[in-house]
Amino acid sequence: MTVARQLYELQEVDLEIADEERRLGQAISRLGKNDVVVAAQEELDTEKNKLEELQKQQRALEREIDDLASKIKAGNDGLYGGRVKNPKELSNLQHEVELFKARGDRLETKDLELMEQVESVEAGVTELTDKLKQVSTEWQREQEQLGKEKMSLESSLNDLRQKRQELAAEFDPKTVTLYDGLRKNKGFAVARVEQGICRGCRISLPSSELQQVRGGNVIQCGSCNRILYLP
Ligand SMILES: [Zn+2]
């Protein structure tokens, strides 16, 4: 096997390591992160507060309606009970009872509106409770999956790093330094040659260079400096 081919294999392992490290990083950053659940809980809490506020308003309104009903009853008792006899007083009382009734009607209408609002918010609370349950279940499942993924990636990375070490040990230190330097600067160090073109920079290689690459030597592309590998 030529050195270029060995380097290419080393690069394949390095790319695999980089990919798995990226995936491991993603899994770790998502582990324990429960924004979605927190957001669903907050949404539900807001709706519950809204419901509580409406129910409070409703109770106050109903107390007021009861209060008015007592006043109307007392007024009617006065009007028809025979206790009040003075015509002016009777007329005033009648007027007062009419005002109470009118106010009572307005409050009843308001109460109906509030009841509708309460029903709608109650439906919202039910919906958001279901949503929270669903989101929590999904989150739980996702966390379990991420935990498994993390473990499997860690184990696979161990193997890959071991393999990398073994592969790297086969080169002379100068070659490894060249390879590592190129990898750091260019993202990848070894470029395939296809149809006389360096796939690293897509430039046609001069025939002299191609000749040397065919010989299996460690030759760098004159344009991008990458180590050329002819499959
Ligand atoms: Zn090149």
Q: Where are the domains of the chain?
A: 3-10+171-229, 31-163
- How far does residue 114's CA lie from ligand 1's centre (Å)? 75
- How far does residue 166's CA lie from ligand 1's centre (Å)? 28
- How far does residue 191's CA lie from ligand 1's centre (Å)? 7
- How far does residue 59's CA lie from ligand 1's centre (Å)? 80
- How far does residue 170's CA lie from ligand 1's centre (Å)? 25
- How far does residue 184's CA lie from ligand 1's centre (Å)? 16
For residue 111, report the phi and psi dihedrals to the nearest 5 degrees: -60, -40
- How far does residue 226's CA lie from ligand 1's centre (Å)? 6
- How far does residue 20's CA lie from ligand 1's centre (Å)? 27
- How far does residue 7's CA lie from ligand 1's centre (Å)? 16
Kindly report the number of other CB atoms within 10 A of residue 2's CB atom. Answer: 15
| 88 CB burial (10 A radius; 0-12, 13-18, 19+) | exposed
pLDDT confidence of residue 55 = 97
- How far does residue 190's CA lie from ligand 1's centre (Å)? 9
- How far does residue 193's CA lie from ligand 1's centre (Å)? 9
One pLDDT digit (tens) per residue for the chain, 231 residues: 789 999 999 999 999 999 999 999 999 999 989 999 999 999 999 999 999 999 999 999 999 999 999 999 999 998 888 888 889 999 999 999 999 999 999 999 999 999 999 999 999 999 999 999 999 999 999 999 999 999 999 999 999 999 999 999 999 999 999 999 999 999 999 999 999 999 999 999 999 999 999 887 899 999 999 999 999
- How far does residue 53's CA lie from ligand 1's centre (Å)? 70
- How far does residue 205's CA lie from ligand 1's centre (Å)? 8
Q: Are 90 and 84 in contact (CB under 8 A)?
A: yes
Q: How far apart are CA 182 and CA 177, in angstroms?
A: 9
Question: 31-163 has which fold?
Answer: Helix Hairpins (1.10.287)
- How far does residue 161's CA lie from ligand 1's centre (Å)? 28
- How far does residue 202's CA lie from ligand 1's centre (Å)? 6
- How far does residue 121's CA lie from ligand 1's centre (Å)? 66
Closest C-alpha among 76, 21, 4 to residue 228: 4
pLDDT confidence of residue 230 = 93
Q: How far apart are CA 56 and CA 62, in angstroms?
A: 10
